Homo-oligomer: A and B are copies of this chain.
Amino acid sequence: MPDVTGRFDGARVLADLNALRSIGTYKSGVHKPTFSQAHMRSLEWLAQRLPDAGLAATIDGIGNVFGRTTKAGPKLLAGSHLESQNHAGWLDGPLGVIYALEAARVINSDPDARGAVEVAAWCDEEGHFGNFLGSRSYAGAVTEIDIDAARDRNSDRTMREALREVGLAGRERLHAEPGRHVGYLEAHIEQGETLESSGLKIGVVTSIVGIWQYRITFTGEQNHAGTTRMAIRKDAGLALARFCVAIDDSFPALCGQRTVWTTGRITLEPGAPSIIPGRAEMLFQIRDDDPNVIERLEAHLRRMAADVTAQGRCSIEVERLRTGVPATMSAAFQDAIEAAGADFAGGKSIRMPSGAGHDAQILATIMPSAMLFVPSIGGISHHWTENTADADIVTGARVFVETCRRLLAQ
């Protein structure tokens, strides 16, 4: 029997994280796309651990895992996600889930602690099928029509097919109960170098940037790569390459200090070596915590696309897929994290914005929410070499549990 009394156990946190790493292992990281076998086994692993923390486990109709208590008193919701990007790291997601599980194990069985921690693992934070579908479902922002329309970005399988295959079709989706929770707390690796390069241990997140995502489609004329003279070609792939370079050349003069933009995927159609691409597509993303900056950049993007289209060789269409509203973290929660950091991380904390999106930005629309970061070695994430020193993982967990205790005691 595991020791589930009210004592923090850093070794248990590390053991749990390694147990999750052993499911869907890829090199030193994991490969757990949403609704893959490895992802589903990870959800079931969590569901089996939740009773140790006095929580009843449910996996709902969108793949969210919940651990709920019947204990009286205030309740804090805590969690993160268990699926990964393709061939990515072991901590992005699981760290926050296991911190939440540890907090629940420590606090829920402690007769001296006030209230209880409830645990959530939000499905598809990594966006294989959409845009924070799990946490947005909980917040009441996902309709059945949205689910009908969702598709796996890797395989084009529909979300309905995936839900049927993993046995979740037809299950109820659980929604937030107004007033049930005093708020939401999530831990995550920083995914940047700020903490590591300053020798700090805890990031107290002040805000989460907005992510605006676009599909940019280039239409030219598909033709034979041997018989079509250069002068008459309408090469959609070349138009795309020129557009990428034009973005990179012109955005710096218009962007903010922390703005970032990324072309993460390019597809040429039909994609054969002997065919001039007639159609090309890129997935493009802009992030900033100031929506005015993003609006300025989007207007510029649309102007450039219209200029190219007007020249008549290829046409460019800019379609916004996702509009990310920046989220502000609860000031009181930030104070609690900082105070816990003073007690258990020697005060080595810093307030900082998050450049990455997280489920906490969705939860922040329905309850006070906050996030705690731990250092990332080399700032690397979304790659299988992603890592954090064991000692930093344990320090972060200790601060997380203490933050939960403080928030419930208020």
Contacts and interface: CB of A to CB of B under 8 A. Distances in A.
B285 A225 contact: yes
B272 A268 contact: no
A320 interface: no
A147 to B, nearest CB: 20
Contacts of A238: 244-245, 248, 263
A164 interface: no
Given A264-B277, A265-B272, A285-B273, A211 B226 contact: yes
A85 B379 CA distance: 44
Interface stretch (A294-302, A380-388, A395-403): A380-388
B271 A225 contact: no
A225 B268 contact: no
A278 B385 CA distance: 13
Interface stretch (A6-14, A95-103, A227-235): A227-235
Interface string A151-181: 0010000000000000000000000000000
Given A272-B264, A275-B264, A209 B223 contact: no
A127 B274 contact: yes
A191 interface: yes
A382 B245 contact: no
A273 B226 contact: no
A213 to B, nearest CB: 6
A224 interface: yes
A368 interface: no
B382 A224 contact: yes
Contacts of A259: 230
Interface string A205-245: 00001010100000000111111111000010110111011
A271 B276 contact: no
A260 B382 CA distance: 39
A244 B237 contact: yes
A376 to B, nearest CB: 8
12 contacts: A211-B226, A223-B381, A224-B381, A224-B382, A227-B381, A228-B379, A237-B266, A241-B241, A262-B273, A262-B275, A263-B268, A275-B382
Given A224-B355, A235-B263, 7 more contacts: A211-B274, A223-B381, A224-B382, A227-B379, A262-B276, A265-B273, A266-B267
A-B pairs with the 3 shortest C-beta distances? Answer: A192-B227, A241-B244, A226-B356
